[in-house]
Amino acid sequence: MTAVGIDAVEIWTGKLALDLAETFAPRKGDDPEKYTKGLGLYESSFPDAYEDIVTMGANAAYRLMERKDLDPEDVGRIDVATESAFDNSKPVSTYIAGCLEEVYDDDFHHANKGERKFACIAGTQSLDDACNWIRAGRNRGRGALVIASDTALYARGDAGEATQGAGAVAMWVTEDPSLVELSTEQGYGSADETDFLKPNQQFPSVDGKRSIQVYLARMREALVDFESVAGKVGPEDYAYAPFHTPYPGMVRKAALLAYRHTIRGTEVEDALADEIGRQPRRADFADEEAFDAAIRDYMDDLKEQPAYHEWYDTHIEPTLAVSERVGNWYTGSVHLARMAALYHAAEADRDLAGEKLLVGSYGSGAQAEIHAETVQDGWREELDALSIFDRIAERYDLSFEEYEQVHDRHNHEKQSELEPFTTPEDEFVFDGWGPMNERK
């Protein structure tokens, strides 16, 4: 079967940055380490006054099309994943295509456009849709533009406020991709949940503590389901495991769960048995409560083991390097984690071609998906063409007062006027409602 997957990626970060330790924590009366050590976050990205999900998505897509020398006629599909949409009818992909058509001579008349919604997992769902469209032979030699674009804002004072972020990830999905091939095997964990939702509201209603438990439960189910089609996953089968990263601290919890699950029945569990015993088996306990308590004790011990730290440092920590500086990008988050992992390998001059990634996507509401990716021969050139860390470093640093003004500007109910902090340079800008965007 022909390989199908991601050929290239471009990333657009909101141009403003909020330093959580220096700027946010003191004004909230919090210890900065709550953010840097507890949540694992240093900065968040925010859109400037002239940016929104359309401009960020269009700018990422334009950069991608230019770099890959693509014309609109090469694009058979434009899918946008977002949970920050402002239009209940017209998909964001049409707004983005409208921007791009201002620049190209051709248009996207024969591209199928849509918008995917399932909280943060929609980015991966769009990717899956694009791959399936190609595998079904419906693409007529063309590729798919998959764009994950979000402005992840919480109400001021909400516990989630520290995890905000904004940016877009554009992915070019093709046959014989240069970056990663996606497995046809996937595992799901899905259930109707109400810990994070936005019924006709911009800012989410969140039960933060419960959302952590729901994330972990769905992720575990997805891993079990994935193994039912792909076979047992061992802790060393994958070079990296990029997970959906609302904040790095969440991934620390997911990683421990994944490690416990993957070492079960392996030599690693045997080797640890002298120190911490074997994993509790359900059959040995009278009820669920006693079993859960035993599992918690085992995890507490496992967390302290050098073998676990070593595994975490090589397979997980590198995936967090972008996220810790930009916050939660919702639909784009897991796709940033993948790129951070590849950056890490490139910096270490590691030859990653042929190695595998275990990708864990998640969306509140709630659903997790696990799939595998195989790194392709052209991965290094694609990585070398990207400059995400430079762009992160170029962001304007907001004071706390400026942050509040930016938050108000992007609050759909307020939409207050705001002078931009940065100057647009050869990019799409938001020009008020009506004719939406203009390339400056």
Provide the binding-site residues for ligand HMG, judged by CB under 6 A. Answer: 31, 33-34, 37-39, 83, 119-120, 159-160, 162-163, 196, 206, 208-209, 211-212, 215, 244, 246-247, 249-250, 328, 330, 362-364
Q: How far is CA 286 from CA 108, 273, 282, 292, 294, in A?
A: 62, 23, 8, 11, 12
What is the longest distance spanned by two Cα atoms in the chain?
Answer: 70
Going by C-beta distance under 8 Å and a sequence separation of 6 or more, which residues neighbour residue 94? 113
Which residues belong to the active site?
83, 120, 244
Burial of 335 (0-12, 13-18, 19+ CB in 10 A): buried
Rounded to a whole number of angstroms, the minimum distance from the CB of residue 258 to ligand HMG is 15
The strand pairing partners of 407, in sequence order, are none
- Return the number of the residue (256 or 436) whose C-beta is nearest ligand HMG: 256
φ/ψ of 374, rounded to 5, equals -110, 125
| Minimum CB distance to ligand HMG, residue 246 (Å) | 3
Nearer to ligand HMG, 61 or 206 (CB): 206
Shortest distance, position 199 Cβ to ligand HMG, whole Å: 14
Toward ligand HMG, which CB reaches closer, 117 or 261?
Answer: 117
Q: Give the residue with the Cβ less far from ligand HMG, 75 or 169.
A: 169
Residue nearest to ligand HMG (CB): 38
Name the DSSP letter for residue 243.
B
Q: What's the rounded Cα separation, in Å, for the pair 350 and 336?
A: 19
Structure token pair of residue 149 = 């674009």
Smaller CB separation from ligand HMG, 124 or 437: 124
- Label the pairing between strands 143-152 and 165-175: antiparallel
Query: Residue 206 CB, nearest distance to ligand HMG (Å)?
Result: 5
- Here the contacts of 268-271 (C-beta below 8 Å, separation 24 or greater) are 268/235, 268/307, 271/307
Q: Which is nearer to ligand HMG, 187 or 246 (CB)?
A: 246
Output the six-digit token pair for 255: 């990683």
CB atoms < 10 A from the CB of 101, how many?
A: 14
